[in-house]
Chains A and B, each alone.
Chain A
């Protein structure tokens, strides 16, 4: 009895087990791989990448002197461009084209996010009304907002002298806007104002760049204005001006991005 009882069990087990085992390694029809196998493969690949990286880390030795490029910037930069902050002179002038590109990247990603998150013709989800923020947050926001904005402006206006610059200042301003949105969820940002600031500051940046061709050595040359006295606010030619535009642009764009991710249905059709 036990014998005859066991056999069908084995048979059925074999019948079901075999195709399953084969299908789980690799299913040619769907292209699905056994998850365990795949995980193992990923692990193995990452180990190899890690080996390559550790080879890099082990062979790394810290520089003890500046690179050729940096030496030029450090020794000639101040007199050439008149900016005390070397990073700024690199960012705005020596590598000004990068920065223009960077502004463009921010611009198109803001536009892209707006486009992707534009209002749907037939919204399929009803967003529940927001709870108002606590009084604590609201009060703090009212108190801090002006200071945050002023600080932002300070950071981008002094970008050529102290750590900071257009991007940092713009980000600070946008964080102020974020705070505002947290404190007052029902608040509506003026899209018209944001769009206007965004477009105009970007366009002005290009105009300043073109002025460089006309008045100075080339596109994005900051020496269209006098370099002024080294270390003062009105120095380094057009760098402060450019940073003001960049700051305004970054501030408005980041604000726009943050605003667009709020999942309400009041967004304009871009």
Chain B
């Protein structure tokens, strides 16, 4: 197989996703869309994490008949980023949930979901 290693694609896609998410955060006036932008940033970061955990030619870090204990250190991918990404996903979920609950309340208070209507305090 020639060309770039597979994790580079994942990494680049992740970084691109982050950029798209940032674009959404900055350009979309609708709060729900901004939250989607944030989710994209989050997902992008998770992809970057997965990419970094990949070891060339590695397999899932589970010891079974396919990967005996003695070979584990050479044949599996890094379990740490997988563990981290699990945590990060849950945290992202928590933050998104709180954001959405804010969006619900903002809509109830202002009958609008535009971020431009959220600038009571300034200076």
Smallest CB–CB gap between B112 and chain A, Å?
A: 14
Q: Mark B26-69, 1 if CB is under 8 A from A, else 0.
A: 11000000000000000000000001101110001111100001
Distance in angstroms between the alpha carbons of A75 and B69 in the assembled complex: 7
Are B78 and A63 interface neighbours, CB within 8 A? Answer: yes
Least CB separation from B78: chain A residue: A70
Q: Is A42 among interface residues, defined by CB-CB distance under 8 A?
A: yes
Give A45-69 interface residues, CB cut-off 8 Å to B: 46, 49-50, 53-54, 56-57, 60-67, 69
Q: Mark B66-103, 1 if CB is under 8 A from A, else 0.
A: 00010011101011101110110111011101101110
- Taking a contact as CB atoms closer than 8 A, the residue among A53, A86, A263 that contacts B79 in the complex is A86
Distance in angstroms between the alpha carbons of A231 and B54 in the assembled complex: 25
Number of A-B residue pairs, CB cutoff 8 Å, is: 157
Q: Is A232 among interface residues, defined by CB-CB distance under 8 A?
A: no
Smallest CB–CB gap between B72 and chain A, Å?
A: 4
Interface SS majority for chain A = helix
Within 8 Å CB of A98, what residues of B? 83-84, 87
Category for how many chain B residues contact A: 35 or more
Are B91 and A87 interface neighbours, CB within 8 A? Answer: no
Smallest CB–CB gap between A230 and chain B, Å?
A: 8
Distance in angstroms between the alpha carbons of A167 and B84 in the assembled complex: 13
Are B69 and A87 interface neighbours, CB within 8 A? Answer: no
Least CB separation from B109: chain A residue: A124
- Known contacts A31-B122, A74-B61: A66-B73 contact under CB 8 Å: yes
Distance in angstroms between the alpha carbons of A39 and B27 in the assembled complex: 8
Within 8 Å CB of B93, what residues of A? 106, 109
- Taking a contact as CB atoms closer than 8 A, the residue among A167, A260, A261 that contacts B90 in the complex is A167
Least CB separation from A38: chain B residue: B26
Q: Which stretch in A111-119, A176-184, A208-216, A218-226 binds the other chain?
A: A111-119
Are A49 and B86 interface neighbours, CB within 8 A? Answer: no
Smallest CB–CB gap between B75 and chain A, Å?
A: 9
- Known contacts A62-B54, A69-B80, A74-B73: A102-B64 contact under CB 8 Å: no
Distance in angstroms between the alpha carbons of A260 and B101 in the assembled complex: 9
- Known contacts A62-B55, A70-B80, A109-B97: A125-B61 contact under CB 8 Å: no
Smallest CB–CB gap between B86 and chain A, Å?
A: 6
Are B91 and A105 interface neighbours, CB within 8 A? Answer: yes
Known pairs A54-B15, A78-B63; list 9 more (Cβ under 8 Å).
Answer: A73-B79, A74-B76, A84-B64, A85-B61, A87-B62, A87-B82, A101-B87, A106-B90, A112-B97
List of 4 A-B pairs having minimum Cβ-Cβ separation, nearest first: A109-B94, A86-B61, A116-B101, A90-B83
Contact sample, A vs B, 13 pairs, CB 8 Å cutoff: A42-B27, A66-B55, A66-B74, A67-B78, A74-B76, A78-B72, A90-B82, A98-B83, A98-B87, A109-B94, A117-B105, A167-B89, A231-B64
